[in-house]
Amino acid sequence: MLKTRKILIYSFALWLFSILSLAAFAQKEIVYHTFKGTRVVNGHSVEAQREGELEMIIAHRFGRLNGGPYELFGLDQANMRIGLEYGLKDWLSVGAGRNSYEKTYDGFVKVRLLRQRVGGLPFSATYVGGMAYRTMHETDSVRALFATNRMFYSHQLLLASKIGDRFSFQLMPTVVHRNFTESLVEKNDVKAMGVAARVRLNKNFALTGEYYYILPNQLADIYFNPAGIGIDIETGGHVFQLHFTNSRGMTERFFIPETTGNWLKGDIHFGFNMGRIFKVKGRWY
Amino acid sequence: MVLIFKYFFPVIFLLSAGNWLVAPEKSGDWDEETPVQEVLKELGEATPAHLLPGESATSLMIIKQGEDIVKRGRTIGPNGKLSSYVSKYFICTNCHNIEQEDPDLTSRDPELRLEYAREKGIPFLQGTTFDGIVNRETWYNDDYVKKYGDLVKPAHDDLREAIQLCAIQCSQGRPLEGWEMRAVLAYFWSLQFTLEDLQLTPGEMAQLQAESANPAKWESLRKLVKGKYLQTSPAHFSDAPPDKTKGYGLTGDPEKGKVLYELSCLHCHNANGVSEYVLDQSQMSFRDLEKKIPKDTHYSIYQIIRYGTWAQPGHRPYMPHYPLERMSNQQVEDLRAYVDRMSG
């Protein structure tokens, strides 16, 4: 009985994949700009660099707003990530960055699997596989730390749809694997389901938001689900993203399993992503 | 001796007969497929400087290379390797059509051209079509001297120089190498006018054929042929209206404006186009355009259409402006009327 069910499930998956592939490759116009940038707030959007495009993204997350005037509402502290992303092909891009938070290096591969098309496939799909390596000097009084203990991995499937001219929506099933956890009660593999949305206010401004629901019984009680809201400002070759989030980190390894801020208590970080695209190979368009 | 009679004479006879049977083409033996240049040459017209030797002009390989450069910006060179882009920012067809774009080759009426472009589904662009470009005698005419100054002088009556000016200045690229220039010219020669394009009446065709043997008639026949198409592409610049809120004081037709928006604006300002300023059919795009109409910036349709933008250090792509022959003031108002209507 179990075998029959498995066969049915696999057959259905194969049928669905075939239908989607056919729809994806049909000669219909691609839906562009589901999101304006390659990031929503902290997490990736379904968008990726085009072939030959190099984007430099400088991101800051300041301290918490509830630090009050003494901390100038968090502006006295800042975590920074500087990163580069490059489109090897229109469907394949790679990126790397360095985070000041825990002196962590990260890298990722982004693959555009399906593109939403006008009158065709109703959504786009992108896979993001990332890894991170923490270089901060540290010791553990209980266990010896090895280089592998500093490594983290993440896998995300981004499913996004642009509905009309103004609204875009994205689902982000995610798994973050940590080779090493601070506590034995925490799982090495952290599963989460993210949702994100973008609402265009006009040609240059859009509201954005993202939220990751961490499945229960995977993390210690001190961690919260990450959530952020922001505004995208588009100025030709630049995209400025200003936002508020309860996370300090800017890569999946940080903000999904290790968000400590509680929105209800004002643990909110103001931050921004600033991207500039350079065309380094081929024609400019 | 018998062998000579048996084999040699028949061979000589057949060869001679072949010569008689396949007589050389004589003057006036033309049909609709005959290139206009060939006709003019036989009517005593001086050979244009941009005429290529027969082999270069007819080699399909060279023509294909030229077509690649015009449509894609580069091609496989004589060394078998992919050449570098002539321009990183533009290809020729961003601003020029390759098809006939005016219903009447003796007129450059933008109103008629827009209707023709709508029927044929071709873009409505700033630059003149490459169709018949080799049949013209001057390029960068009239007010282009205001834009390019002395750079226009060598390009005005030399197509090679005009192509180089376009490659270096207009498309902000590099000069074409010798083989690239030959290839582009060969492609352009493949787009030359034939007698069919000139839409001669049966009477005119008969006159052409009948009188071509008489050199005394050649001048009038040349005039007849050249009277069927423009040897130049007029270009007169215009200003934006002093008061952009009032515009040119003409009543716009939004239906024509819609065609202009689709065949002109969206040709470059689409999501995959050459411009970073992306437009579409959303209300947001139209509201953004409408909001900026009164402003004295290049985001105002009046300003951008009449003056364009300029290449700057660090940001070479720019938008060329539309001379009056490429978009009339009435058409600018038509476009505005469509923008006003769609912005709600």
Which whole number is the average pLDDT over A115-125? Answer: 94
Scan residues 193-232 of A and list those with Cβ closer than 8 Å to B. Answer: 200, 202-204
Task: Judge whether residue B273 has pLDDT over 60.
Answer: yes
Distance of CA B76 to the CA centre of its chain: 24
Whether A202 sits inside 8 A of B284 (CB atoms) is: yes
Rounded to a whole number of angstroms, the CA Rg of chain A reads: 20
Q: Is B343 on the interface with A (CB under 8 A)?
A: no
Q: Considering only the beta carbons, identify the residue of B73, B271, B277 that sits closest to A236.
A: B277
pLDDT above 70 coverage of chain A, percent: 92
Whether B284 sits inside 8 A of A166 (CB atoms) is: yes
* Average per-residue pLDDT for chain B: 90
Whether B91 sits inside 8 A of A283 (CB atoms) is: yes
- DSSP states of A223-251: ----EEEEEEEEETTEEEEEEEES-S--S
Scan residues 271-310 of B and list those with Cβ closer than 8 Å to A. Answer: 271-274, 276-278, 280, 282-285, 287-288
Each residue's pLDDT tens digit, B179-223: 999 999 999 999 999 999 999 999 999 999 899 999 999 999 999
Each residue's pLDDT tens digit, A248-271: 999 998 999 999 999 999 999 999
DSSP A265: G
pLDDT at A282: 79
How many pairs of residues across A and B have Cβ atoms under 8 Å apart?
38
Q: Considering only the beta carbons, identify the residue of B88, B277, B285 that sits closest to A284.
A: B88
DSSP A81: E
Which of A6-20, A143-157, A173-187, B48-62 has the weakest average pLDDT? A6-20
Q: Considering only the beta carbons, identify the residue of A32, A202, A283 that sits closest to B287.
A: A202
* ipTM for the assembly: 0.77
**CA dist list (Å): B222 to A250, B132, B192, B210, B285:** 74, 17, 17, 14, 51
Residues of chain A neighbouring B85 (CB-CB closer than 8 A): 282-283
Which of B119-128, B207-216, B249-258 has the weakest average pLDDT? B207-216
Q: Is A70 on the interface with B (CB under 8 A)?
A: no
Q: How confident is the model at residue B319 (pLDDT cuts 50, 70, 90)?
A: very high
Whether B272 sits inside 8 A of A33 (CB atoms) is: no
Distance from CA of A108 to the nearest CA of B (A): 25
Which whole number is the average pLDDT over A18-26? Answer: 60
With both helix axes pointing from N to C terminus, report the angle between B218-226 and B202-211 in degrees, rounded to the nearest 10: 150
Whether A165 sits inside 8 A of B277 (CB atoms) is: no
pLDDT at A232: 96
pLDDT at B315: 79
pLDDT at B4: 54
- pTM (two decimals): 0.83
